[in-house]
Chains A and B, each alone.
Chain A
Amino acid sequence: MSSDSKRWVASHVAALPKSGIRDFFELVAKMKGQDVISLGVGEPDFVTPWHVREAAIYALEKGKTYYTSNLGMIELRRAIAGYVTEHFSVNYRPEDEILVTVGVSEAIDLALRALCNPGDKVMYHQPCYVSYHPSVALVHAEGIAVPTYAKDGFALTAEALRAAWVPGCKILMLNLPCNPTGGTCSLEQLTKIADFCREKDLLVLSDEIYSELTFDGVHTSIASLPGMSERTIFLHGFSKAFAMTGWRIGYACGPAPLIDAMMKVHQYTMLCASIIAQEAALEALLRGWDSVCKMRDQYHRRRDLVVRRFNEIGLTCHSPRGSFYAFPSVSQLGITEKDFAVGLLQQEKVAVVPGNAFGVNGIGHVRACFATSYEQLIIACDRMDRFVQGVKK
Chain B
Amino acid sequence: MNPVFKLLLEGGHLSTAQMAQVVGLSEVEVQQHLEQLKKDKIFLGWRPVLDLSREGAGVAVRAVIEVKVTPERGGGFNRLAERLARFDEVESCYLMSGGYDLLVIVDGSSLQKVAGFVSEKLSTLEGVLSTSTHFMLRSYKEGGFLIEQNESSSTRLTVAP
Contact = CB atoms under 8 A, between A and B. Distances in A.
A264 to B, nearest CB: 27
**Most B C-beta atoms less than 10 A away, residue of A28, A129, A304, A374:** A374
Interface residues of B, number: 18
B7 to A, nearest CB: 7
A131 to B, nearest CB: 7
A41 B18 contact: no
A21 B160 contact: yes
A34 to B, nearest CB: 11
Contact of B161 (A19, A29, A305, A375): A19
Given A309-B21, A374-B18, A375-B18, A301 B159 contact: no
B22 interface: yes
Contacts of B28: none
B159 A304 contact: no
A29 B22 contact: no
Interface in A19-69: 19, 21, 24-25, 28-29, 36, 38, 40-43, 45, 47
A301 B160 CA distance: 23
Contacts of A353: 159
A255 to B, nearest CB: 29
Interface stretch (B29-37, B101-109, B150-158): B150-158
B24 interface: yes
A305 B21 contact: yes
Given A374-B14, A378-B21, A47 B161 contact: no
Contacts of A302: 22
Interface in A335-360: 351, 353
A298 interface: yes
A308 B24 contact: yes
A363 B18 CA distance: 32
A75 interface: no
Contacts of A21: 159-161
A183 to B, nearest CB: 17
Contacts of A378: 18, 21-22
Contacts of A42: 160-161
Contact of B158 (A19, A25, A298, A375): A25
B12 interface: yes
B159 to A, nearest CB: 4
B158 A29 contact: yes
Nearest to A304: B24
A297 interface: yes
B158 A40 contact: yes
Nearest to A179: B161
Q: Quick one: which of A21, A24, A373, A375 has the most chain B CB within 10 A?
A: A375
Interface residues of A, number: 32
A74 interface: no
A333 interface: no
B40 interface: no
Interface string B129-161: 000000000000000000000010100111111
A130 interface: yes
Contacts of B151: 47
Nearest to A302: B22
B148 to A, nearest CB: 16
B88 interface: no
A40 B23 contact: no
Nearest to A29: B158
A258 B157 CA distance: 35
B150 to A, nearest CB: 11
Contact of B14 (A40, A304, A375): A375
Given A21-B160, A305-B22, 8 more contacts: A25-B158, A36-B158, A40-B160, A45-B153, A297-B6, A351-B158, A374-B18, A374-B21
> 7 closest A-B pairs (Cβ-Cβ)?
A40-B159, A25-B159, A42-B160, A38-B158, A130-B161, A28-B158, A42-B161
Interface of B: 6-7, 10, 12, 14, 18, 21-24, 151, 153, 156-161
15 contacts: A19-B161, A21-B161, A24-B159, A29-B158, A36-B158, A38-B159, A40-B158, A41-B157, A41-B160, A45-B153, A129-B161, A301-B22, A309-B21, A351-B158, A373-B12
